[in-house]
């Protein structure tokens, strides 16, 4: 078996294998996830819900967007259980397959015009499947990176799966932008929107091939060799690592709120209340995503000197950004582009070290489950309802209250960061807790 380590033969994943395998999987996962986010704003309200009330259809579509975040903790518990019991590699392959099947199925669904309310229910079911897959993917990809990393490069290695987010978003936004340019509106809503979902099958097969070439992480293999697995990792996390779990949720909160305000909410508000065309605003977002991608490695390098300090400073800046977000967004095209660039740059700075920070809070025997649950539960609080809450706040009280919402999330994350220890010098091969 290729994952077995013995004194005579120790299969070692090369840095190139590790980093590419962790990056390609999350890129595919986030591509699948974001094409849904984009379609939830510009396609699904018209095709999968009743056209009698457009406003209600849009809110219903955003609600199905949130279903995946409710499914994420289930995926985290399920895949985390097997990831902490039998290994990271096998679990990652199954998680990626789950996400891929759900995404391709969306591209083949009949619409509301064809089968009525059943179309809405099937869409919600497929979205649930996406959430299950992503709930198991993210934590495993981060562990694949950091558990293969040299002790002084864990934040740098842990940054690569995080890069999958901007790359996946750039690909998804780019695909929709190209389709919007090449196809008429009639063609786009007839069949064009399906193409990104169906094409993801090719990316999934590529990701599976790469994942199957790697071996088990050395850190987890040592845990297997010592027989230190626990029977029910989720129970152990809730019973013995409650403080770390709560702190991890709080640490992720501002990151989730910021990102889904910068992507889903701004796209929805910009193309409705502010009058931007779909193509123009997607192009503006893609420009902002460049800053997201560039700042991720910068923050990872800074985090090698200390995770907690970097995260505290960035979180404080996110809180300030919340106070200036609305006037920037409303200041014409230049202001909106500057707002997206600044917001997504801050997103990269907080997101780069996040996977490493959360993973280092838990011991190896429950690290997959603990880190995945913290990330997924934070997604319910910070992401699943963020577009819905922001839209409601903007319509009822005005755009500045969306910024206040972000600032409140930053305050909670700041308090969460104050409650954790600095983990940069921890030895992952030593069992804690």
Q: What is the pLDDT of residue 17?
A: 80
Residues 320-350 pLDDT 10s: 999 999 999 999 999 999 999 999 999 999 9
Q: What is the mean pLDDT of residues 104-125?
A: 91
Residue 1 has pLDDT above 50, yes or no: no
User: Which domains, from first to last, does the chain contain?
Assistant: 15-211+232-419 (1.20.1250.20)
Residue 40 has pLDDT above 80, yes or no: yes
Q: What is the pLDDT of residue 64?
A: 83
Residues 208-235 pLDDT 10s: 888 888 888 888 888 888 888 888 999 9
Global pTM reads: 0.84
Q: What is the mean pLDDT of residues 177-191?
A: 85
Question: Binning pLDDT at 50, 70 and 90, where does residue 361 land?
Answer: very high
Question: Binning pLDDT at 50, 70 and 90, where does residue 430 land?
Answer: low
Q: Could you write out the three-class secondary structure of the chain? A: CCCCCCCCCCCCCCHHHHHHHHHHHHHHHHHHHHHHHHHHHHCHHHHCCCCCCHHHHHHHHHHHHHHHHHHHHHHHHHHHHHHHHCCHHHHHHHHHHHHHHHHHHHHCCCCHHHHCHHHHHHHHHHHHHHHHHHHHHHHHHHHHHHCCCCHHHHHHHHHHHHHHHHHHHHHHHHHHHHHHHHCCHHHHHHHHCHHHHHHHHHHHHHHHHHHHCCCCCHHHHHHHHHCCCCCCHHHHHHHHCHHHHHHHHHHHHHHHHHHHHHHHHHHHHHHHCCCCCHHHHHHHHHHHHHHHHHHHHHHHHHHCCCHHHHHHHHHHHHHHHHHHHHHHHCCHHHHHHHHHHHHHHHHHHHHCCHHHHHHCCCCHHHHHHHHHHHHHHHHHHHHHCHHHHHHHHHHHCCCHHHHHHHHHHHHHHHHHHHCCCCCCCCCCCCCCC
Residues 20-38 pLDDT 10s: 888 888 888 778 878 887 7
Question: Binning pLDDT at 50, 70 and 90, where does residue 266 land?
Answer: very high
Q: What is the pLDDT of residue 205?
A: 85
Q: What is the mean pLDDT of residues 167-190?
A: 85
């Amino acid at each position: 078996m290729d994952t077995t380590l013995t004194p005579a033969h120790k299969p070692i994943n090369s840095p190139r294998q590790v980093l590419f395998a962790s990056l390609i999987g999350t890129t595919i996962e986030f591509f699948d996830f974001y094409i849904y986010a984009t379609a939830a704003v510009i396609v699904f309200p018209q095709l999968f819900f009743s056209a009698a009330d457009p406003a209600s259809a849009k809110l219903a579509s955003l609600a199905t967007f949130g279903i995946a975040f409710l499914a994420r903790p289930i995926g985290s518990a399920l895949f985390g259980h097997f990831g902490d019991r039998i290994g990271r590699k096998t679990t990652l392959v199954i998680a990626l397959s789950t996400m891929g099947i759900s995404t391709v199925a969306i591209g083949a669904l009949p619409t509301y015009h064809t089968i009525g309310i059943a179309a809405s229910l099937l869409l919600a079911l497929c979205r649930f499947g996406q959430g299950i897959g992503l709930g198991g993917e993210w934590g495993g990809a981060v562990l694949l990176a950091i558990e293969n990393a040299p002790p002084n490069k864990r934040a740098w290695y842990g940054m690569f799966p995080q890069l999958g987010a901007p790359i996946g978003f750039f690909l998804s936004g780019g695909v929709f932008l190209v389709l919007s340019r090449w196809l008429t509106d009639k063609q786009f809503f007839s069949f064009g929107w399906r193409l990104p979902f169906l094409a993801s099958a090719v990316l999934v097969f590529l990701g599976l091939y790469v994942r199957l070439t790697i071996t088990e992480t050395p850190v987890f293999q040592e845990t297997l060799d010592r027989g230190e697995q626990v029977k029910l990792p989720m129970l152990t996390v809730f019973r013995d690592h409650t403080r770390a779990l709560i702190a991890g949720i709080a640490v992720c909160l501002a990151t989730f709120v910021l990102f889904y305000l910068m992507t889903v909410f701004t796209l929805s508000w910009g193309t409705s209340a502010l009058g931007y065309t779909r193509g123009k605003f997607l192009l503006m977002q893609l420009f902002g995503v460049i800053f997201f991608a560039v700042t991720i490695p910068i923050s990872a390098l800074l985090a090698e000197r200390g995770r907690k300090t970097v995260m505290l400073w960035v979180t404080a800046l996110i809180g300030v950004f919340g106070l200036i977000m609305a006037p920037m967004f409303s200041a014409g095209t230049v202001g909106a582009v500057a707002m997206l660039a600044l917001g997504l740059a801050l997103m990269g700075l907080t997101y780069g070290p996040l996977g490493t920070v959360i993973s280092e809070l838990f011991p190896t025997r429950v690290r997959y489950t603990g880190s995945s649950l913290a990330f997924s539960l934070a997604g319910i609080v910070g992401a699943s309802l963020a577009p819905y809450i922001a839209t409601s706040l903007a319509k009822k009280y005005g755009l500045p209250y969306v910024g206040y919402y972000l600032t409140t999330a930053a305050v909670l994350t700041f308090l969460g960061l104050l409650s954790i220890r600095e983990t940069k010098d921890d030895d992952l091969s030593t069992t804690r807790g």
